[in-house]
């Protein structure tokens, strides 16, 4: 399975294409995230990598892609405060629910993505996956290694 195979790219675009064109999601490009990337690029990479793994394992890849994309949907600057760290998953879930229908699984993925920080436990394997991939991508962001993936994920959203 190639990470950026045509099949993966098409299936990903099909799962999140209605969300990535929406202004509240695109606005995340304006916010610096993890020092070296934008919140949009961070969320898109978390969504894509989680989606490819979920698809490979026959998990709910659509829920993973959509909730992965929306997991940091808030428009405050990161101030490294403990309060924002704890509360932003709830803010993101609330904002996401205004944008689209959220299944209970998608809601749990968003709410628990900061676990063990935060107040919500991952309740399904898809939530554990996004929680883990959020940490992996955060590390890549801080190390300045995520940008080369970002371009490829962006390209996945373009019509073939
Ligand atoms: Fe987050
Ligand atoms: Fe995140």
Looking at residue 70, which CATH number applies to its domain?
1.10.3210.10
What distance in angstroms lies between residue 62's CA and the mean position of ligand 1's atoms? 19
Q: Is residue 94 part of a domain?
A: yes
What distance in angstroms lies between residue 6's CA and the mean position of ligand 2's atoms? 26
Q: Is residue 30 part of a domain?
A: yes
The per-residue pLDDT of the chain, averaged, comes to 94
Residue 132 CB burial class (10 angstroms; 0-12, 13-18, ≥19): middle
For 130-150, how does the pLDDT look when each residue is reduced to its tens digit (9 = 90+)? 999 999 999 999 999 998 898
**Closest-approaching ligand to the CA atom of 133:** 2
Residue 146 CB-half CA count within 13 A: 30
pLDDT value, residue 83: 87
pLDDT value, residue 160: 60
Q: Is residue 34 part of a domain?
A: yes
pLDDT value, residue 51: 98
Residue 29 has pLDDT above 80, yes or no: yes
- Number of structural domains (the chain) is 1
Residue 1 has pLDDT above 70, yes or no: no
pLDDT value, residue 80: 77
Q: Is residue 160 part of a domain?
A: no
Here the tokens at position 151 are 């371009």
Residue 91 CB burial class (10 angstroms; 0-12, 13-18, ≥19): middle
Domain limits for position 111:
6-155
pLDDT value, residue 105: 98
What distance in angstroms lies between residue 43's CA and the mean position of ligand 2's atoms? 6
What distance in angstroms lies between residue 149's CA and the mean position of ligand 1's atoms? 19
What distance in angstroms lies between residue 88's CA and the mean position of ligand 1's atoms? 7
The residue that leads in pLDDT, 127 or 76, is 127
Is-contact 138 75, C-beta < 8 A?
no
Calculated CA dihedral for residues 143, 147, 150, 151, nearest 10 degrees: -160
What distance in angstroms lies between residue 160's CA and the mean position of ligand 1's atoms? 31
Calculated CA dihedral for residues 35, 66, 152, 150, nearest 10 degrees: 0
Q: Is residue 23 part of a domain?
A: yes
Q: Is residue 65 part of a domain?
A: yes
What distance in angstroms lies between residue 16's CA and the mean position of ligand 2's atoms? 17
What distance in angstroms lies between residue 23's CA and the mean position of ligand 1's atoms? 19
Over residues 108-134, the mean pLDDT reads 96
pLDDT value, residue 85: 87
Q: Is residue 1 part of a domain?
A: no
Q: Is residue 26 part of a domain?
A: yes
């Amino acid at each position: 399975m190639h990470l950026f195979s045509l099949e993966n790219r098409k299936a990903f675009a099909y799962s999140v294409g209605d969300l990535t064109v929406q202004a509240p999601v695109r606005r995340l490009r304006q916010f610096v995230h993890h020092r070296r990337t934008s919140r949009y690029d961070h969320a898109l990479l978390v969504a894509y990598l989680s989606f490819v793994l979920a698809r490979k394992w026959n998990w709910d890849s659509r829920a993973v892609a959509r909730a992965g994309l929306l997991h940091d949907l808030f428009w405050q600057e990161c101030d490294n405060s403990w309060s924002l760290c704890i509360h932003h998953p709830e803010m993101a879930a609330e904002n996401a629910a205004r944008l689209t229908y959220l299944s209970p699984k998608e809601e749990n993925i968003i709410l628990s993505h900061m676990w063990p920080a935060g107040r919500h436990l991952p309740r399904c394997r898809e939530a554990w996956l996004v929680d883990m991939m959020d940490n992996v991508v955060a590390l890549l962001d801080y190390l300045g290694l995520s940008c080369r993936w970002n371009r490829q994920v962006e390209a996945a959203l373009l019509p073939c």
